[in-house]
Structure 1
Amino acid sequence: MRITFKGFAEHILFAANVFIVFLLAFEDKIGIPYWLQPFGRMHPMILHFPIVILMLAMLLESFRFKETYLKEPLYQNFTSGLLLSGTLFSALTVIMGLFLSKEEGYSGSLLQWHKWTGVSIVFVASIIYWCRNTSWYRVKLARIGAVATTLCIILAGHYGASLTHGDNFVLESVTGAKALPKVPVAEARIFEDVILPVFSQKCLSCHNLEKAKGSLMMHNVTALLKGGKSGKLFVPGKPEISLLLDRIHLPMDDKKHMPPKGKDQLSNEEIALLRLWVKGNAELKKKVVDLPVNDSLRLLASTFLAPSAAAEEKYAFAAADESAVKKLNNNYRIVYAVAKESPALAVNIYNKSEYKPEAVKELEAVKQQIVSLDLKGLPVHDEELKTIARFENLRELNLNFTNINGAGLKELQALKYLSTLSISGTKLNYDFVKQIGKIKSLQKLILWNTGLSESDLQQLQKSNPKIALISGFKDDGKHPIRLNQPRISTDVAVFKTSLALQMKHPINGVQIRYTTDGTEPDSLKSRLFDQSLLIKGNTTLKAKAYKTGWYGSETFSANFYKSSYQADTIQFLLPPEDKYSAGASKVLSDHQLGDYEINSGKWVGFRKNNMETLMFFRQPVMMQSVVLNVMRLVPTYIFPPVEVEVWGGSDKNKLRLLSKVKPEAIKNGAERALIKVEAKFKAQSISYLKIVAKNLKVLPQWHPGKGEPAWLFVDEIFLN
């Protein structure tokens, strides 16, 4: 029996329907192999064909029973062929979509709606095709089927667009993008009100509960901290090694650039904001106003927020002369506008040793414009408050840790706008301080650690109920505070013979407990630090501070290395990568340890080649150990060597293999670390030393760069 092309297509359509049912029935047990994934990823490319073909076929199907077309063979055959083609293409598209949905990053209710409306298109269109020539299939059923198919196409398209581009993508141009409310600066939290809205607008369409590309979700704090398939999204305090900033700064055409090409890109201000946030330890709870007034993150974040009440205030005075403001600025005094285009000025004066009363008196040139004055930590006396009282529009005055006793506070009653006064850390006399009640505009008085007793403070508050008195934390013993870490007194991390180490803590009465074997110190069994510690070999020091009534500190950790010998010459037998080769020979023996900044000039990087170095000693040395200091930074493709060989002898042409070391393989999720790779061998005289460190040539399947070679970064070689 001869099969026509149409008959063959019908068989394929039937098989496709059966295959779709199979995929749906066993979707939880099916895994798509890597070689088949490209087929699934063609789903977005193919889906436009069946949409157009089926929409046209449904339109023709609605009119096929009109008398004009009923007896027209061309119309009937064309409609039948169009419907078969559209349904077949739809089935192919659905199969691709089901394959694609098995990859990481696709989940949630949107995906389910998109999947089932897409599957419905195939099933409804297939039923129409197989039933359209039966006796009971008439115009009413034809039009119901056409409407049902068209409705499924529209819904599937809508859910697909929302899945790809974000919720409300289709109607956003009409209804307008949902505007995120701007929070006043005074109330705003750095993460919740500044950083998270940037993620919501520029990243959330691909990294949400419904669609988590790269297994990364960015809808809340927990999801952000978890990171994705490629690792942690950011390293607090280290923007230069944070995946977030790395992806943002990739070339636009790079497939890993974020946001992807074609998506709404981050502005320069938003990129700078994210970088400053990560650099500032990626604070999650701190408020914007908790940052210093001239902090870069605070200044930039303020432009993303609603102005605070102070910034919104309309001042009745004119701006100061620019030349006068410029003249007042110097190394110890900063005069600046509180907001863009605002006539109001804020003043900060620094440097206790250079301060003179004239520094305040000179400000009379702009006395009308000053609304904030910060004199904390300066030897300011009560007499100078007479000058300050002439700054008629002053709102905030900071006199913390100055030399006032309160005698001059009566002068401040002339300031009819003064709302905040800070006098913490001063030796106050209560008889003088009680005069603050005469400052009618005062709303907040901050006076920690003054000479006032508890009864004085209570009486002061009782006499001035409209003033918020902030007198500090009262330690009742029920809320212990965590100690900060102990500190070492040396910057030296590499020594030749031994190192006398000093540790200290700024709080009196603190005990420092430590270990040198890599274990965590505790308050009972670990050794107690006493005056000094003599280190004679490679050591990992861990220390914690303890004191009764306090929580123990976080663990302080530092590595110290012994390097008894230094080669007279170091030659690279295979060159490192050009970008990380500057001064390479010196870098490996300068005793300057690198951190996680690979562009600091302290690291030598290898990728195409293994590291092969030949060292020469004019005077033979007795050696038994070689240590390589290497980096592990998995998200940026930096792995330790898979094998290290050490060759040595007196003749460079007749070197013997002294040791071979294979470090433990890196597992998925490994944290960043600076690692010692040590090769030990029997002590012997060495004139030539050859070190071969083999980098990983093929990254593992769990890594986003699977199949590519890893980087090897080395910063020091220690010889003993």
Structure 2
Amino acid sequence: MHLRLRVFAEQLLVASNIFILFLLLFESKLVIPAWLQTIGRMHPLILHFPIVILLLAMLLEFFRFKPEYAENAFYRNFLQGLLLIGTLFAAVTVIMGLFLSREEGYEGATLNYHKWTGAGIFFFASIIYWVRNAGWYKSVTAKAGALLTVVALVLTGHFGAALTHGSNFIWEPISSKREVAEVPLDQAMVYAHVIRPILEQKCTSCHNPDKLKGELILTDPKSIMKGGKSGKLIVPGNPQMSLLLQRVHLPMEEKKHMPPSGKTQLTLQEISLLTLWVKQKADFNKKLTDLPVSDSLRVMAAAFLQPHSQQEAYDFPAADEDKVKSLNTDYRTILPLARESPALAVNIYNASAYHVKQLDELADIHKQVISLNLNKMPVKDADVKSIAKFENLRKLDLNFTDVSAAGLKELAGLKYLQNLTLSGTKLNLNDLKGLLPQLKSVKTVAVWDTKLSAADVLQLQQANKGMTIIGGFKDDGKNPLKLNPPQMRNASPIFAQTLVVDIQHPIKGVDVRFSMDGSEPDSIRSPLLDHKTVINSNTTIRAKAYKNGWYGSDMIVFDYYKSAYQPDSGTLLAPLNRVHQAEGVKTFFDHKLGVIGANNPAWANNWAGVRDNDMAFVSEFKKPVTLSSLGVRYMVEEDTGIFPPELVEIWGGTTRDNMKLLTKFKAPMPVKGERPSLQSVAGSFKPQQVSYIKIIAKPLSKIPVWHRNKDKRALLLVDEMFLN
């Protein structure tokens, strides 16, 4: 190396030692600007260069005092230059790493080990460079220093890999294939034997005491309930509000999706287990057998724990995993029945979105589906032909569907069908007398809440000795149970002019009582819902179910919205949030209401959102309409920074270029600790004939000072607007 260049490099090495020592001493006070964060993020890009240079330099240093090399001038000069270059690049890598470590998500013991071993290598290599020509520096010292540096390089690399890929990165290919330890189902604990193994395999490599990513630890119940830097991880009883499930359901390309892209992802079965566990209040001490036999969490957990060898042997191959994944939608889930089993269970949700195409689209996995749940779907007799194509079906749930005995005869060809539930259907004794003998493989039939009496059930049982006919709960008043809340049967709570309120209860003989004045309905004074109640404006109905011999249900609140007009077209004037695009302008008038849990893709498609700019659009009516009000339905979730609109402006006119301000209004702001809710606010104005309207909804420009994100802009989420 040229002498002048070497002197400059040595001076740079001294300066680097001083600068790195300064950074280490005052690290806690460092505030890294954005441009330095960019430099810090180059740390993983260049760290391999000093590793290779230093390894090569230490290999040459190890043999430096051998007679054939000791007197070789080229060897000495090359080695000295190589060591100097490697040490300088190590300095650059350490500085970048210290900048990077100040970003969110880098905490814990592993980070400290990586930081100090990395800095130690740099300081140690610098010392070797300065003392290697001293008289006392002999062969033994050179070999010891070289070996120590190599060991430190390996350790630093290991800690770095643990930071980016998890503490079990090296052994994961082996350990991830290990079976979950078998445990008898009667001894199994829901958390210890089902939930904790899932977290250990997919989450704790980045969230443990040694690697505190997001200040979150997932290795013990206390830490799980404490949460991390982003807040509570779990809201017991409310999966939609639980950050754990929100992050899991984010799109893979989202930075906050968990587990991160490149890591082994949670399976649909594991996500369902976590969801059901949280829904049941995230109990850490409950045994599996404490749950009801038919409980969804118990059934899925038993399948998760039960070894494949104990499952029924199937003569069909497993379906393609990518194909199964592509067939999962917001309203259709497909899950493996058990670990390593090719059998699949299909559940279809949302009666208003149901269509027989949801069954026909499963042609590629007909052989693998052995369980099909169509509970409360508007299944018709014609649809049973599509059901009959699932040749290996073992279990079929047709509770509260519109099937008849004529359509159900199509099931006679299913030679493996064992369990059939027909509760809540319109079948009678004569229907089942003709149907059941044709279903030769069926072992169990559930017919409660049908037209059958107890005597009818007994008659069917005597005529079909090989079947178990389940007649359901006997209401004798001796063991009162609590009624579940009534259910809305209206196709949509949004209507144009008038609507007959349809709120029912699935159990016969139940009285549904209601109020519209904000009071809680009682069993005596509150009016009965008789399918004659008609509403013609925005209405909130509170309802409870009552029946003699039963405890009354919890109160449930239903919001109905009048929206007399729908625009024919619309155009956005400003972009929507990248995550909450929904269906653009169409979202505001599609009569699809969102629910709390906007980061879950199963619900996020109903929410349009903005943060950095106004929510602004123009809509057109092909024929002029007379408007006098506009309502906006929005989400409030103050803990995550979702606030009401700060201001809403309504403009209107007969031409696009000649609109005037009709009105503007504000929404009430939440207070600290307010529970998440769905709210609406409306603005009225003098009746105005318009062909065009322009809506501008401004997100809150400064979050209140009591919030952890104070002074930042809030996120505004809107799912529907109502024009009257």
Alpha-carbon distance in structure 1 between the residues aligned to 2:708 and 2:659: 37
Measured after TM superposition, the shift of residue 594 of structure 1 is 5.0
Letter in 2 for 1:7: V
Alpha-carbon distance in structure 2 between the residues aligned to 1:90 and 1:365: 76
Cα pair 2:616 2:696 within 8 Å, conserved: yes
Alpha-carbon distance in structure 1 between the residues aligned to 2:436 and 2:654: 77
Cα pair 1:400 1:426 within 8 Å, conserved: no
Q: Structure 1: which 5+ residue stretches go unaligned?
A: 313-321, 337-342, 392-396, 403-423, 428-448, 451-472, 476-480
Percent identity of paired positions between Structure 1 and Structure 2: 31
Aligned match of 1:15: 15
Q: Identify if the C-alpha distance between structure 1 residues 179 and 576 changes in structure 2 by more than 3 Å, giving closer, same or farther.
A: same
Alpha-carbon distance in structure 2 between the residues aligned to 1:499 and 1:172: 58
Measured after TM superposition, the shift of residue 162 of structure 1 is 2.5
Cα pair 1:62 1:146 within 8 Å, conserved: yes
Alpha-carbon distance in structure 1 between the residues aligned to 2:569 and 2:172: 63
Aligned match of 1:610: 616
Measured after TM superposition, the shift of residue 117 of structure 1 is 1.7
Q: Identify if the C-alpha distance between structure 1 residues 210 and 186 changes in structure 2 by more than 3 Å, giving closer, same or farther.
A: same
Measured after TM superposition, the shift of residue 216 of structure 1 is 5.7
Superposition TM-score, scaled by structure 1 size: 0.63
CA RMSD of superposed structures (Å): 6.1
Aligned match of 2:372: none
Q: Identify if the C-alpha distance between structure 1 residues 67 and 125 changes in structure 2 by more than 3 Å, giving closer, same or farther.
A: same
Q: Which 10-residue stretch deviates more, 497-506 or 12-21? A: 497-506
Superposition TM-score, scaled by structure 2 size: 0.62
Q: Identify if the C-alpha distance between structure 1 residues 650 and 150 changes in structure 2 by more than 3 Å, giving closer, same or farther.
A: closer
Cα pair 1:32 1:102 within 8 Å, conserved: yes
Q: Identify if the C-alpha distance between structure 1 residues 639 and 588 changes in structure 2 by more than 3 Å, giving closer, same or farther.
A: same
Counterpart of 1:530 (choices 513, 523, 526) is 526
Letter in 2 for 1:687: Q
Alpha-carbon distance in structure 2 between the residues aligned to 1:127 and 1:545: 81
- What is the DSSP-based 3-state SS (H/G/I as helix, E as strand, rest coil) of the residue aligned with 1:660? strand
Q: Which 10-residue stretch deviates more, 551-560 or 48-57? A: 551-560
Q: Identify if the C-alpha distance between structure 1 residues 613 and 302 changes in structure 2 by more than 3 Å, giving closer, same or farther.
A: same
Alpha-carbon distance in structure 1 between the residues aligned to 2:141 and 2:560: 83
Aligned match of 2:239: 236
Alpha-carbon distance in structure 2 between the residues aligned to 1:54 and 1:302: 53
Aligned match of 2:132: 132
Aligned match of 2:361: none
Cα pair 2:461 2:468 within 8 Å, conserved: no
Aligned match of 1:572: 570
Letter in 1 for 2:570: F
1:684 lines up with 2:686 in the alignment: yes
- What is the DSSP-based 3-state SS (H/G/I as helix, E as strand, rest coil) of the residue aligned with 2:678? strand
Cα pair 2:635 2:679 within 8 Å, conserved: yes
Cα pair 2:643 2:669 within 8 Å, conserved: no
Alpha-carbon distance in structure 2 between the residues aligned to 1:653 and 1:174: 67
Counterpart of 1:717 (choices 705, 718, 722) is 722
Letter in 1 for 2:55: M
- What is the DSSP-based 3-state SS (H/G/I as helix, E as strand, rest coil) of the residue aligned with 2:211? coil
1:657 lines up with 2:661 in the alignment: yes
- What is the DSSP-based 3-state SS (H/G/I as helix, E as strand, rest coil) of the residue aligned with 1:145? helix
Measured after TM superposition, the shift of residue 111 of structure 1 is 2.0
Alpha-carbon distance in structure 1 between the residues aligned to 2:686 and 2:670: 33
Q: Identify if the C-alpha distance between structure 1 residues 122 and 375 changes in structure 2 by more than 3 Å, giving closer, same or farther.
A: same
Alpha-carbon distance in structure 2 between the residues aligned to 1:327 and 1:502: 35
CA displacement 1:155-199 (0-9 Å, x = unmatched): 112222223323343355688865432445666566654555344
Measured after TM superposition, the shift of residue 635 of structure 1 is 12
Cα pair 1:60 1:79 within 8 Å, conserved: yes
- What is the DSSP-based 3-state SS (H/G/I as helix, E as strand, rest coil) of the residue aligned with 1:610? strand
Q: Identify if the C-alpha distance between structure 1 residues 529 and 109 changes in structure 2 by more than 3 Å, giving closer, same or farther.
A: farther
Q: Identify if the C-alpha distance between structure 1 residues 620 and 243 changes in structure 2 by more than 3 Å, giving closer, same or farther.
A: closer
CA displacement 1:664-696 (0-9 Å, x = unmatched): 78999997653424335xx53422373322466
Q: Identify if the C-alpha distance between structure 1 residues 228 and 29 changes in structure 2 by more than 3 Å, giving closer, same or farther.
A: closer
Which residues of 2 match residues 86-485 of structure 1 at below 5 A? Answer: 86-170=86-170, 179-183=179-183, 193-194=193-194, 196-213=196-213, 218-219=218-219, 226=227, 229=230, 236=239, 243-244=246-247, 246-247=249-250, 249-250=251-252, 259-265=259-265, 270-271=267-268, 274=271, 278=275, 282-283=279-280, 284=282, 298=299, 302=303, 305-306=306-307, 346-348=418-420, 350=422, 353-355=427-429, 362=437, 373=444, 377=448, 379=454, 401=471, 425=474
Aligned match of 1:69: 69
Cα pair 2:394 2:419 within 8 Å, conserved: no
Alpha-carbon distance in structure 2 between the residues aligned to 1:385 and 1:568: 55
Aligned match of 1:24: 24
Alpha-carbon distance in structure 1 between the residues aligned to 2:552 and 2:446: 35
Aligned match of 1:60: 60
CA displacement 1:15-60 (0-9 Å, x = unmatched): 2222222222223332322322122222222221222111221122
Alpha-carbon distance in structure 2 between the residues aligned to 1:482 and 1:375: 21
Alpha-carbon distance in structure 2 between the residues aligned to 1:502 and 1:39: 62
CA displacement 1:590-638 (0-9 Å, x = unmatched): 76655568889996958797222356986866x4x43222456899998
Aligned match of 2:696: 693
Aligned match of 1:49: 49
Cα pair 1:649 1:685 within 8 Å, conserved: no
Q: Identify if the C-alpha distance between structure 1 residues 287 and 154 changes in structure 2 by more than 3 Å, giving closer, same or farther.
A: same
Alpha-carbon distance in structure 2 between the residues aligned to 1:673 and 1:216: 27
Q: How many residues of Structure 1 are paired with residues of Structure 2 in the alignment?
A: 600
Q: Identify if the C-alpha distance between structure 1 residues 652 and 638 changes in structure 2 by more than 3 Å, giving closer, same or farther.
A: same
CA displacement 1:89-113 (0-9 Å, x = unmatched): 2222222222222222222222222
Measured after TM superposition, the shift of residue 661 of structure 1 is 3.9
- What is the DSSP-based 3-state SS (H/G/I as helix, E as strand, rest coil) of the residue aligned with 2:96? helix
Measured after TM superposition, the shift of residue 121 of structure 1 is 1.0
Aligned match of 2:352: none
CA displacement 1:543-566 (0-9 Å, x = unmatched): 89999xx99986644434466xx4
Aligned match of 2:678: 674
Q: Identify if the C-alpha distance between structure 1 residues 299 and 173 changes in structure 2 by more than 3 Å, giving closer, same or farther.
A: closer
Aligned match of 2:380: none
